[in-house]
Structures are given as structure tokens and as C-alpha cells.
Amino acid sequence: MSLHYLVREPKVKLEQNPALFLLHGYGSNEEDLFSFANELPEDHYVISVQAPYALQGGFGYAWYAIYFDADENKFSDDQQAKESIHLIAQFIDEISSKLPIDKQKISLIGFSQGAILSYGVAFAYPEKISKIVALSGYFNEKLLPESFDVNKMQHINFFASHGSVDQVIPVEWARKTQPYLEKLGLPITYKEYPVGHGVAPQNFWDFKNWLEQN
């Protein structure tokens, strides 16, 4: 397998079960989001994926590097991010051939870097995804393929949420996502919570209910 992962089997096994892929944030690992795997819909495979790049000093993993210049401006390695988008798509294919996953019902739940890349996967590989839950991330247009066919994305539902006092990714960045996707005619639910860079309990229940209703 191209990426390390953890899996929670569905409580009820069907011939093919839907799947939720969990993509953690910068400096974390596959165990982070997996901590709430048992709270997620019981009929799904829950697959928590570890990012490919180990950070120095054992400080977890990243999907792409973040650099600081002399003025402490932060910028992302977009090329590495694009490579990780392709790696996630490849991993979805690998695990789908190993487990009896319903390929029409694959959802990505990403936090921070994982959320940013989830949008990228939806645009680069729309045929692989049915739902995106983007937590505390933002829509980075630089990661989109040079051309994409929005008609091939009409089946994808988006849920995005952000902390209104997020100190890592400004809420203003996240607020641009809804108008951008709506302009393309893509359905999105956007919510904010009075927290920092994290997932509030209400946020968790909101996206869980959204998953079950959609």
C-alpha cells in the first residue's frame, strides 16, 4: 500500500459498504481523527490515512511542507500538495481493490491540510468521490488541475466548517469557499463555530448528521 492507514470495519457487512477516508492535518498522524471513528456511521468503512512526509524531530506527518520566509510569511509547497492529491487518489484505488468498498459512496473527511487536499481530490478525481467534509481548511485554487469539468462534479456534496477565532487558518480564507463552489453550481453547507483551530463537539454532530442525511 502506498500509505499507512488504520481501518474500522463496518458493524453491518454488506456486499459492498460505503467508506469514509480521514485525512489528518499538519504535524499529526493517522491516529488523530481515528479517535472518533466509532462515532461515525456504522455501515461505513472508516479508513484513517497517514500523510507521507515525516516531520523532523518526530513531530508527526505532513501532506506537504510549509515554509516561513524572513518576514515569517507562511507559504505552502503546492507541488508537494499536488503530489499528495494524486497519492490519495491512488490509495483510494488500492484500498478499494482490497476491501469490498462501494466505489460510488466514498467520502473524504479532512482536517486543516487534509481539508485543503480533500477539495483538490474532488476537482482532480471527481469520479472517485461522493462527499467532502472539510474541517478548518480552505479552498486553494492553486491546487486545482489546469482544466476540470464541473459537469463531472455535480454529484459531489460539500460540508465545510471553521472556527471563527482560528489562529492557524484565518476564517476569512474559509469564507471564500462557499461563494466559489456555489458559483460553479456545487452544493455546499458552510458553518462556523466560536472556537480556534479544532473541531467543536457541535461541529462534529453537525457534520455527522449531514453525512447521514445526504
Is pLDDT at 34 greater than 70 in this prediction? Answer: yes
Task: List Cβ neighbours of 59 (8 Å cut-off, separation of 6 or more).
Answer: 27
Where in the chain are the domains?
A: 5-213
Q: What is the pLDDT of residues 102-112, one digit of tens each?
A: 999 999 999 99
SS3 (DSSP) at 44: coil
Of 59 and 93, more confident = 93
Reported as a single tens digit per residue, the pLDDT across 169-182 is 999 999 999 999 99
With CA atoms as reference, report the closest residue to 23 among 119, 102, 101, 97. 119
CATH number for domain 5-213, candidates 3.40.50.300, 3.30.365.10, 3.40.50.1820, 3.40.640.10: 3.40.50.1820
CA distances from 115 to 10, 163, 209 (A): 24, 14, 19
In terms of DSSP H, where are the helices of 99-185? 113-124, 171-175, 177-183
**CB–CB of 113/63 below 8 Å?**
yes
- Distance of CA 4 to CAs 61, 63, 88, Å? 11, 13, 11
54-71 residue pLDDT tens = 998 888 999 999 876 666
